[in-house]
Each structure stands twice: as C-alpha cells, then as structure tokens.
Copies of this chain bind each other. A is one copy, B any other.
Amino acid sequence: MSKPAGRTILASTIAKPFQEEVTKGVKLLNFVPKLVGFLANEDPAAKMYANWTAKTCESLGFKYELIEVGKNNLETELIKANKDDDVNGIMVYFPVFGDNQDQYLQQLISPEKDVEGLNFLYYHNLYHNVRFLDPPHNQQKSILPCTPLAMVKILEYLSVYNNILHYGNRLYGKKVLIVNRSEIVGRPLAALLANDGATVYSVDIHNIQQFTRGDDLSEQRHKVVDLKGDEYTLEKLAPQCDVIITGVPSESYKFPSELVRHGTVVINFASAKNFTDEIKSRAGLYVPSIGKVTIAILLRNLLRLIHNKQIRQGEITGEEEQETPSS
C-alpha cells in the first residue's frame, strides 16, 4: 500500500491543548482540587482505568483518591463524599451492580461534584439544547457528559466544526453516522451534534434514527425520526457521511471499510478496535481511540464545577464568551 492520502491523529495529540488549559486553570486556584474515584467491582480493566486517572490527575496538578468499597457500602460512601468539603469531584467506576441500581447510584452523586456530567439535570440540558444552568443570567455553563464533550472537542480540533458559521450552527451541512446509541454516550452524542446543526444517523442493533434540527435548522433543538425503507440502510447512508463514529464494545465487530467514502473523518471511541487497518487507506482523518481526550475533559469539567460554585458564591463572575460551541 502506498502512503495514504489521509492522516491518523492520536488522542494524545488532541488532548495536549486541553491538558495545558487544565494545568493552567488549576494554578489559578488557591487550593488543589480533589477528585475521588469509587471502585466497587473486581474488574481489572476498571482498576487500570482508575490507575490511569490517578496518574493523569497528579501529572496535571490535581489530587486524586481511589476509594475501594464493597457494593453495598457505595451508597453510604457517596453520601459522605457529597458532604465532604474537601472533595471537589466524584466519579464511580461502573458497572457496580450491572442493573438499574447503578443508575440510582449515579444520580446520587451531587450535581455539584458530578465530573462525568452524568446527572439527569445535565442530560436534560443537553437534550434540550440548554447551555447554561442559570438562565437568563447565563453565567454558569452546564456540564456535558465527558465522552460526548470529548467528541465535540475532537471534531473542533479536526475542523469538522466550521468557525465561520454562527455559534450553535457550526455543523450545518455535515452528515454524521454514529454506531452506538447507549444512554451514556451514543444517544446524548447524537443529540449534541444535531443540536449543533449536523444531520446525525444513529445506528444500533435494532434500527437507524435520524437526529436533526430540521433541514434548515429552523428548530431550536433536535428531533428524532425512525428511518425506514430501502434508502435508509447502513449501506446507503454511510457513504454519504462526512463523519463516521463508532463505539461498539466488541473485539469481533468491525465497521465495513468499503462503506467509508474516501476522505471521511473516522473516529472510534470504543476500547475495542472497531476498524481494520484498511481504514487508513480510506479515511481523511482517523482517530483510533479517544481515552486521553476524555480524561482531560473530565478534569476540565471538574474546573467548571468549581467555577460554577465560585460564581454562585459570588467569588467570581462568569465569562460571557461563546467561543467554543457546546462546552
């Protein structure tokens, strides 16, 4: 194979400016923020992820504490951490029970300390294209879930967001395919990109849905339509897309390279490799994984939580800047 026309862009490259932003942000505080991670399962992958969070936190100037607890003690421990003034951010390495009880535990984390942006309040704002916590003052930006926000930042980095367009419409004209419709990433991501102006095709095992604000973006927020019929198969839609994003948590799943039009932006957020190496000869820009960006964004969310609290307490005033969409 001759040298491909496109480029592979590593998450470490994209993460760098956010790591710098976050390091700078910490230095401006008069204390060292503390993130607490709760591990209540035996999953070695979760443990590895916890160690990696710890390393990143420390290298960027944050305190990190890993608390290992039994499943049945997690609720009590979360309530304690919510009340502890020394704790600025809380995260849990899910799954814990692996059923709906996990959602109860997730919602138990105080929105003021929810670095992952998983609280119902934040999802609600995302789905409704509400970007501030305190309308009409609009001083406190809403928190966005880490992985979807990391994806927005990656798409900005790759110039898929067009800064010449108005803020809020910067994906106008772009078609995006997302293979994953989980409540944690795929569905909020589809909504977020559609709210920013894209036409999103959301694929899961059951069907394909379209998320848009209408062809002409006349709606204030996205609406969802089930796509039915011969023209709306993956085989027909994928080659029309400017961006293809996958997040299938299976080593055996591979997105069919032949459906990727030459020059497409391709991003995989699953920890499994969703593309074969052939993708490099077709993608314009290929981002094989995004973990390092997500973790930088997690710490960026932590700083935003701290800023929002300072604004509520009248210690600082919020910036009105709207430079970066959806952030």
Contacts and interface: CB of A to CB of B under 8 A. Distances in A.
A309 interface: no
Interface stretch (A75-83, A85-93, A118-126, A161-169): A161-169
A5 B159 contact: no
A110 to B, nearest CB: 37
B284 A173 contact: yes
Interface in A1-17: 2, 4-7, 9
A308 interface: no
A158 B169 contact: no
Copies of this subunit: 2
Given A162-B159, A164-B285, A173 B7 contact: no
Interface stretch (A26-34, A181-189, A200-208, A211-219): A211-219
A162 to B, nearest CB: 5
B173 A263 contact: yes
A204 to B, nearest CB: 26
A128 interface: no
Contact of A197 (B158, B163, B174, B263): B263
A282 interface: yes
A47 interface: no
Given A159-B164, A197-B5, A215 B173 contact: no
Interface in A120-136: none
Contacts of A2: 218
A contact face: mostly helix, strand, loop, or mixed: loop
A261 B242 CA distance: 14
A174 B265 CA distance: 11
A49 interface: no
A174 B157 CA distance: 18
A108 to B, nearest CB: 40
A173 B216 contact: no
A103 B18 CA distance: 56
Contacts of A216: 4-5, 262, 281-282
A165 B285 contact: yes
Contacts of A240: 240
Interface of A: 2, 4-7, 9, 157-159, 162-166, 169, 172-174, 197, 215-218, 240, 242, 261-265, 281-282, 284-285
